[in-house]
């Protein structure tokens, strides 16, 4: 992702001009104490942790095959153009969300933070080598992402932040929603791949094409070419990419330029599961910045704990209101950014 100097300056001006009710020292001490307790459980239960994450990966892959090969059969007893269209939207959209969910989980939790299977022994290293590259099924390049994400944590909110997201102009976001922007640089608001072709990016593109090609062959035999092309070539890549752009446009935008107060959480409701990519994605991204050493399921526990510590004003700043919270946030970002 390319950093725009004017966006950094706008973020700095916004932080100076707006009062923000950040976490107090007492709140931070309580959060750190709770985080250390959760981390001790994580380090002491590595087998349970590995089984949890293995179950998530298997669940997502099986659900993806079911979405493509079983879900359309609900629609196909009836025939017609509209039936095919709705079936393709349903199957392709669900396929897109599942691949997006898998990609966010494996590129962030796995490749960037080595938390899916911490490489502490030979078996874990072998499992991690597979899990941390499953994001390639969605066309993501873990090598490029890891480099930018590490600087995001180490140099948050500065001109050396490889994922500077605290002020993203709406035009960059809108251009990223152009058709086929997942592959073409209409906008430089892209983080899952480098802006120039690299070996890692080409490997990801090939992996995505092989996986979708195999799925497409099975779908074509049952449902025909038109349905298959619409679901896999049109609906799926746009659904996954648009969700990813929405998440990154909203999780830091117009937040302060310091790590402990610089993110917001979507929460455990509908928007957190959809935009965050499921519970193993990033529905509680603020918790990740407060305690990046914790795995995803403990971030959810910490989220519920921190929520009880916050004042009413802090909840409005860091969290979303149920149902209408995300649409309100989008409107505010379009009007302010």
Q: Per residue in 262-278, pLDDT tens? A: 999 999 999 999 999 99
Is the pLDDT assigned to residue 46 strictly greater than 90?
Answer: yes
Residues 328/321, Cβ–Cβ less than 8 Å: yes
Q: How far is CA 268 from the centre of its chain?
A: 14
Between residues 35 and 195, the one the model is more confident about: 35
What pLDDT is recorded for position 325? 95
Give the three-class secondary structure for 247. helix
Closest CA to 128 of 117, 136, 120: 117
Question: DSSP letters along 280-315, please?
Answer: TSSTTHHHHHH-TTS-HHHHHHHHHHHHHH--HHHH
For residues 250-260, give the mean pLDDT.
95
**Spatial separation of the C-alpha atoms in residues 324 and 309, rounded to whole Å:** 23
- pLDDT band at residue 224 using 50, 70 and 90 as cut-offs: confident
For 131-159, what is each residue's pLDDT tens digit? 999 999 999 999 999 989 999 999 999 99
Is the pLDDT assigned to residue 74 strictly greater than 90?
Answer: no
What pLDDT is recorded for position 79? 65
As a whole number of Å, the CA-based R_g of the chain is 20
**Spatial separation of the C-alpha atoms in residues 26 and 238, rounded to whole Å:** 44
């Amino acid at each position: 992702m390319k950093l725009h100097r004017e966006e950094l300056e706008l973020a700095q001006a916004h932080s100076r001009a707006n009062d923000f009710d950040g976490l107090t020292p007492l709140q931070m001490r309580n959060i750190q104490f709770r985080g250390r307790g959760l981390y001790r459980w994580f380090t002491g239960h590595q087998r349970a942790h590995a089984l949890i994450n293995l179950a998530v990966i298997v669940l997502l892959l099986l659900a993806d095959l079911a979405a493509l090969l079983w879900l359309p059969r609900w629609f196909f007893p009836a025939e017609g153009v509209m039936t095919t269209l709705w079936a393709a939207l349903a199957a392709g959209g669900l396929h897109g969300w599942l691949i997006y969910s898998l990609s966010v989980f494996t590129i962030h939790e796995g490749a960037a933070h080595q938390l899916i299977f911490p490489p502490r022994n030979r078996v874990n290293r072998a499992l991690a080598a597979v899990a941390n590259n499953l994001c390639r099924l969605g066309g993501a390049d873990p090598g490029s992402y890891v480099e930018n994400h590490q600087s995001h944590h180490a140099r948050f909110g500065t001109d050396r932040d490889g994922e500077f997201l605290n002020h993203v102009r709406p035009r960059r976001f809108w251009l990223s929603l152009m058709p086929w922007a997942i592959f073409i640089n209409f906008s430089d608001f892209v983080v899952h791949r480098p802006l120039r072709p690299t070996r890692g990016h080409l490997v990801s593109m090939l992996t995505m094409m092989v996986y979708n090609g195999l799925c497409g062959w099975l779908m074509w035999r049952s449902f025909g070419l038109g349905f298959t092309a619409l679901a896999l070539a049109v609906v799926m890549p746009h659904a996954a990419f648009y969700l990813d752009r929405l998440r990154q446009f909203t999780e830091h935008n117009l937040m302060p330029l310091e790590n402990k107060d610089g993110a917001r959480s979507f929460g455990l409701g509908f928007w957190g599961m959809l935009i965050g990519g499921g519970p193993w994605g990033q529905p509680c991204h603020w918790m990740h910045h407060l305690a990046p050493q914790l795995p995803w399921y403990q971030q959810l526990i910490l989220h519920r704990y921190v929520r009880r510590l916050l004042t009413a004003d802090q909840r409005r700043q860091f969290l979303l209101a149920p149902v209408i919270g995300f649409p309100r946030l989008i409107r505010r970002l379009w009007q302010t950014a």
